[in-house]
């Protein structure tokens, strides 16, 4: 298994941990399938009323799709089969609140998950970036999700600057992507405190509020995501050229502290 799920029925909280530390918690096809299965299972787990999502270790929360994954693509330029498109809790119709506890790097496909969490608690050493453009790929789903959570100029800069820059946790907090900063050892306890508080409230009221919050932006989000497959198909370099760019990466990233 590439996920760990720990349940505290007494507190009403589950902790879902991406458990591929040796791969910086990158998501392969098995992990993607497990995420979908876990979210759908938690829909029916009445004893669980809130969820914390995190990554194993301290180096990375998640670095997106595993570079070793290969997915056959349709010939049509208007369609892309994206293995991460359904891995988020909202995509799986889970309306219990999800608190993301972000440790280390969060980049690329990590935003499929962060984009569908209610709010983020971040370790001070965490960094946020989107490497797509550096490797000849269109940032579509990722940019759309982050445009729902960050000021336009900030998400545009992060999406376009690729690996040349990383957004510090401090800066992410200042622009509203992150709701709470902690020391690394306090990350999970802080996320659990929030989740336990949410789990202690009447569940119908909490889930109704989650649905109301998401209804405020869901129509625009859906329309934007519908454009992503064609943009990716038309703008991505071929996989061999992407691999060349990935293999030749050298530039040390800058960190945006302010």
Ordered by start, the domain boundaries in the chain are 1-66+85-183+208-250
Q: Output the CATH code of domain 1-66+85-183+208-250.
A: 3.90.226.10
Q: Which residues contact 44 (CB under 8 A, 6 or more apart)?
A: none
Residues 31-90 have pLDDT tens digits of 999 999 999 999 999 999 999 999 999 999 999 999 888 888 788 877 778 889 999 999
Q: For residue range 143-194, list pLDDT tens digits in order.
A: 999 999 999 999 999 999 999 999 999 999 999 999 999 999 999 999 999 9
The SS3 call for residue 62 is: strand
Task: Kindly report, residue by residue over 195-210, the tens digit of the pLDDT.
Answer: 999 999 999 999 999 9
Selection from 79, 92, 83 nearest residue 230 by Cα? 79
Distance CA 100, CA 191 (A): 7
224: exposed, middle or buried (Cβ count in 10 Å: 0-12, 13-18, 19+): middle
């Amino acid at each position: 298994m590439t996920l760990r799920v720990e349940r505290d029925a007494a507190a009403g909280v589950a902790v879902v941990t991406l458990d591929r530390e040796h791969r910086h918690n990158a998501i392969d096809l098995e992990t993607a399938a497990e995420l979908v299965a876990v979210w759908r299972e938690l829909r029916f787990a009445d004893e669980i009323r809130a969820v914390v999502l995190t990554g194993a270790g301290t180096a990375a929360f998640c670095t997106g799709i595993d570079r070793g994954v290969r997915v056959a693509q349709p010939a049509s330029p208007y369609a892309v089969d994206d293995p991460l498109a359904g891995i988020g809790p909202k995509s799986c119709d889970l309306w219990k609140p999800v608190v993301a506890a972000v440790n280390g790097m969060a980049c690329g496909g990590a935003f499929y998950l962060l984009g569908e969490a209610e709010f983020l608690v971040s370790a001070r050493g965490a960094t946020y970036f989107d490497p797509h453009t550096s490797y000849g790929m269109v940032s579509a789903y990722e940019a759309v999700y982050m445009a729902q959570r960050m000021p336009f100029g900030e998400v545009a800069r992060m999406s376009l600057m690729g690996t040349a820059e990383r957004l510090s946790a401090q800066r992410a907090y200042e622009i509203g992507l992150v709701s709470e900063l902690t020391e690394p050892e306090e990350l999970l306890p802080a996320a659990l405190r929030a989740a336990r508080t949410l789990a202690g409230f009447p569940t119908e009221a909490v889930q109704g509020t989650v649905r109301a919050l998401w209804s405020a932006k869901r129509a625009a989000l859906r329309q934007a995501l519908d454009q992503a497959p064609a943009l990716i198909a038309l703008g991505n370099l071929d996989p061999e050229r992407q691999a060349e760019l990935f293999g030749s990466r050298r530039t040390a990233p800058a960190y945006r502290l302010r």
